[in-house]
């Protein structure tokens, strides 16, 4: 009987835990999906997601998650900053539903953000969203704490691999939805759903501190 290498166990658990957290409709994924459908700076967008996740996972597995979880000031800043940005971005999405430019099929959903705007938006959606810290830093850091220090590296590798595969698959796979979004109404529906997602996340954050 073939023995499973011991380092594969934390790597697989890291992959599964990370995948379970990021494969969900959230602020990051909604923006990556829209960028992918519009074929707008897709590589840069998904690369930023992957790099940020790698850094945050590394911080969590390295022990920073415990520091963040115990610091009420840092958590409060992350919380209310994230709520404000998510509400603003959701408002922009709802406004696009009724804006005349959202009816343009070419590059639907309003004017295409340039490279700088894409980078800034992606950074904001990631770094101003408290869920990102709670998931990648605190939660993954807590899960990895059950392993010995030399096994946490493999846990982190598995978690990072899941993030890279997901974001690149989402960004480049979204273009196959292109024919569906030849219809202006499809963009209106997508913008409306993205607005709902942003506001629901913001409300869930506010409700969580009640």
Q: pTM of the full predicted structure?
A: 0.70
pLDDT at 91: 87
Q: Is 40 helix (H, G, I), strand (E, B) or coil?
A: coil
pLDDT digits (tens, 9 = 90+) for 73-124: 766 776 677 678 778 878 877 887 776 444 343 445 567 888 999 999 899 8
161-180 mean pLDDT? 87
| Residue of higher predicted confidence among 102 and 71 | 71
The string of DSSP letters for 65-77 reads HHHHHH-HHHHHH
pLDDT digits (tens, 9 = 90+) for 175-199: 887 777 667 777 778 778 878 877 8
pLDDT at 101: 44
pLDDT digits (tens, 9 = 90+) for 194-210: 788 778 877 876 776 55
| Residue of higher predicted confidence among 171 and 18 | 171
pLDDT at 8: 80
Contact, 44 vs 115, CB < 8 A? yes
pLDDT at 68: 61
DSSP type of residue 110 = S
- Rounded distance, CA 52 to CA 137, Å? 11
pLDDT at 75: 64
Report the percent of the chain where pLDDT is more than 90. Answer: 17
pLDDT at 51: 93
pLDDT at 48: 94
Compute the half-sphere exposure of residue 73: CA atoms within 13 Å on the CB side of its CA. 0
Q: How many C-beta atoms surround the C-beta of residue 178 within 10 A?
A: 13
The closest of 37, 61, 42 to 109, measured between CA atoms, is 37
Q: Is the pLDDT of residue 66 over 70?
A: no
- Rounded distance, CA 95 to CA 162, Å? 34
Contact, 152 vs 10, CB < 8 A? yes
């Amino acid at each position: 009987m073939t023995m499973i290498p011991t380092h594969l166990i934390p790597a697989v658990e890291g992959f599964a835990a990370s995948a379970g957290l990021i494969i969900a409709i959230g602020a990051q994924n909604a923006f990556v999906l829209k960028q992918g459908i519009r074929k707008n700076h897709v590589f840069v967008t998904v690369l930023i997601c992957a790099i940020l996740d790698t850094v945050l996972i590394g911080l969590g597995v390295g022990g920073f998650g415990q520091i963040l979880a115990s610091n009420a000031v840092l958590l409060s800043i992350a919380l209310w900053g994230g709520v404000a940005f998510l509400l603003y971005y959701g408002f922009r999405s709802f406004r696009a539903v009724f804006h005349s430019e959202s009816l343009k099929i070419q590059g639907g959903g309003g004017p295409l953000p340039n490279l700088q705007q894409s980078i800034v938006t992606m950074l904001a959606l990631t770094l101003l969203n408290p869920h990102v810290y709670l998931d990648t830093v605190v939660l993954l850091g807590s899960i990895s704490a059950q392993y010995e220090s030399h096994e946490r590296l493999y846990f982190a590798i598995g978690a990072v691999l899941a993030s890279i595969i997901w974001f690149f698959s989402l960004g480049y796979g979204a273009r196959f939805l292109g024919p569906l979004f030849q219809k202006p109404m499809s963009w209106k529906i997508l913008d409306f759903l993205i607005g709902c997602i942003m506001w629901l996340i913001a409300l869930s954050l506010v409700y969580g501190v009640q």
